[in-house]
Amino acid sequence: MRSVAVFNNKGGVGKSTLTLLLADFFSSTSVTIKDRRARILVIDLDAQNSSATALVGQTAVEHYQKDGLTVDGLLQLLIQGKKPSLSDFLITRREKTTGARKIPLGQLWVMPTDGDASLRLEEKYRDRIVIAWFERLRPLLEKAFDIVLLDLPANIDRRNFLPMAALSTADFIVTPTEPSKITLNALEKTFNIIRDAQGAARQAGRQEPKLVGLILNKTDRRTKQYRLHAKELKIRAGENDSLVFDNWLPPAPALATATDDSLEFEHLRERYDTYYDHVRKVSKEMAERCGLVKRAGK
């Protein structure tokens, strides 16, 4: 199993959108494990549950929250030494059916969070959450899934034990960002938190999560803003042993529409419309950089 944390400490840069498109493409086309389609889980750690809602709908998310069947609820039981059934906490999105020559949205699984439950969990158990995540939750996930995508919230620090547990025990971290000065100014805080997570993993004797790169969102390479800040973004990434992805996401209303759970989507092109090729290339590059598929020519 490989876990990928989608994280930027600034809000509104596209974490949930990136999580959504990676989940869709990984479950539908991009990744196979031993000649079968990869089993994908999305754990939404943001209290807004934007990626979870986009994938399985608000009704399902609220139902699981009401019954305490969230990632925070599962961790509490594991910390208490209980042995809950993982399947009880998973919302399934069944594979869609489409006509010929159209790639249907694949089957995947989602685990939402509950903001209030997360706060109670952190107040009561603090750094025991990290231990439970790595020693108890991760082994359960390894048996059931090939790839786990972690949609992390913004505005966290080392006192936020639940998202820091996910970040410090992930295999990879990817950071969506924008080519704007305000986003650039906020990047250093993001890098600091990632370094904290890597340091915590190193201190505990775990493998450090690798920052695989920055993915540009709401980007038009023809604009003055992009030309002004692209070089600085690459420098910032290099200073943190990372890079800026070759592929990017445009400033597209269609990508906002893709997260609307009141709309029914059956296949990938329907969901991502004319920006299908952009999101396909981003997901493919992500899979290659995380070693989930072989790079072209290798």
Residue 55 lies in a domain: yes
What pLDDT does residue 298 have? 45
CB-based contacts of 155: which residues, under 8 Å, 6+ apart? 9, 11
The pLDDT of residue 55 is: 96
Amino acid at 24: D
Tell which phi-psi region holds residue 100, choosing left (phi > 0), alpha (psi between -120 and 50) or beta: beta
CATH number of the domain to which 237 belongs: 3.40.50.300
Q: What are the phi and psi torsion angles at 199 (to 5°)?
A: -65, -40
The pair of three-digit structure tokens given for residue 164, joined into one six-digit string: 């820091």
Beta-bridge partner residues of 4:
149, 172
What pLDDT does 294 receive?
64
Separate counts of helices (H) and strands (E) for the chain: 13, 9
Q: State the residue range of the domain holding 206.
A: 2-289
Burial (Cβ within 10 Å: 0-12, 13-18, ≥19) of residue 269: middle
> What is the C-alpha to C-alpha distance for residues 218 and 228, in angstroms, rounded to an integer?
15
- Using alpha carbons only, what angle is made at residue 226 by residues 223 and 231, rounded to the nearest 5 degrees? 145
Please give, one letter per residue, the 3-state secondary structure of 229-298.
HHHHHHHHHHHCCCCECCCCCCCCHHHHHCCCCCCCCCEHHHHHHHHHHHHHHHHHHHHHHCCCCCCCCC
Residues in the chain where the model's pLDDT stays below 70: 30, 32-35, 100, 294-298
* Residues with Cβ within 8 Å of residue 75, at least 6 apart in sequence: 121, 129, 132, 133, 137, 162
Token pair of 154, please? 């913004």
Asked if residue 274 lies in contact with residue 250, where contact means CB atoms within 8 angstroms, the answer is no
Q: How many domains does the chain have?
A: 1
The burial of 80, by beta-carbon neighbours within 10 Å (0-12 exposed, 13-18 middle, 19 or more buried), is given as exposed
Confirm whether 294 is domain-assigned. Answer: no
Please report the pLDDT score of residue 34 as a whole number. 61
Residue 297 lies in a domain: no
Q: Supply the pLDDT for residue 36.
A: 73
CA distances from 255 to 1, 103, 130, 252 (A): 28, 18, 34, 6
Q: Tell me if 188 sits within 8 A of 202, measured CB to CB.
A: no
